[in-house]
Structure 1
Amino acid sequence: MNLFKFFLSLIITIAMLLLMDPRSFYGLAFHEWAGLIMGLFFILHKILNWGWIKKVTIGFFRKSTGRARFNYILDVLLLAGITLMILSGIAIARTIDFSWLNLGGSRMFWRVMHTSSSFITLALFGIHLGLHWNWILQRLKIKKVKNGKEN
């Protein structure tokens, strides 16, 4: 299971970076479809980590460590950011017809929301990645080097 979680996280990371510019990697249609698929992968990521989410939610004010609380708040912000990215992406989609959703609002509003939430979420994602760096190194079997010595 840990290997699957690792590869899922790796796919989400690579997709997030590739999707930052809709025209640089296979065009707008790829950007829109891949964005939706990445959203599904994110949901799967949350499902696979549901035990941790449940444990920290229940003990948030009682027995969780400061780091666990910080990770939890960061995850909530990431969830909000990714939700805004997907919702605004649906509202401004050009190659997939979501007009039946009738989201309202101006195209400019949704475009600004999409761009802003993407950059803010990318920054939060970088923090999330940094906080899980040791876990990543363990999965890759890379030993940290500190002062010229392996740890």
Structure 2
Amino acid sequence: MTEPFWQRKSLAEMTEAEWESLCDRCGRCCLHKIEDIDTGEILFTNVVCALFDLTGGRCTQYRIRRQLVPDCLDLKEGLPPLHWLPQTCAYRLLAEGKPLPGWHPLVSGDPETVHEAGISIRSFAIPETEVEDVHDHVVEGLR
């Protein structure tokens, strides 16, 4: 049996379809993050970009998101500093030489396992349009 593409190809070697399929639709990368100026630590909040569809688990304006949100990460332009990506992110895991977890839809074969495993932001995220100060929404332990 042939190894899955993510085990035999580097991120740079993947087709666009393979690359896009790595996204598990958890939404963690779309959460607002704050960098602690003193320690450099990245603090995750429960505040999600207004373009993110919590039900569908994807950006509603994916193709033009960088024009609408200039500081949105574009992984295809080369991985950004990995510390900005969630520790559960497939792109980060593969770049670090780690395997995809069992709950990842490519491994489980089921797009719901990311939600069942509690990785998805679906149950706790708040759209940025409903928040006054993102600093009030830091979530301890979320990485």
**What TM-score does the superposition give when structure 1 sets the normalisation length?**
0.26
Q: Which structure has more helix as a fraction of its residues?
A: 1
Ranked by relative contact order (alpha carbons within 8 Å, sequence separation 6 or more), the top structure is: 2
Q: Give the number of the structure whose residues are more often strand, by fraction.
A: 2
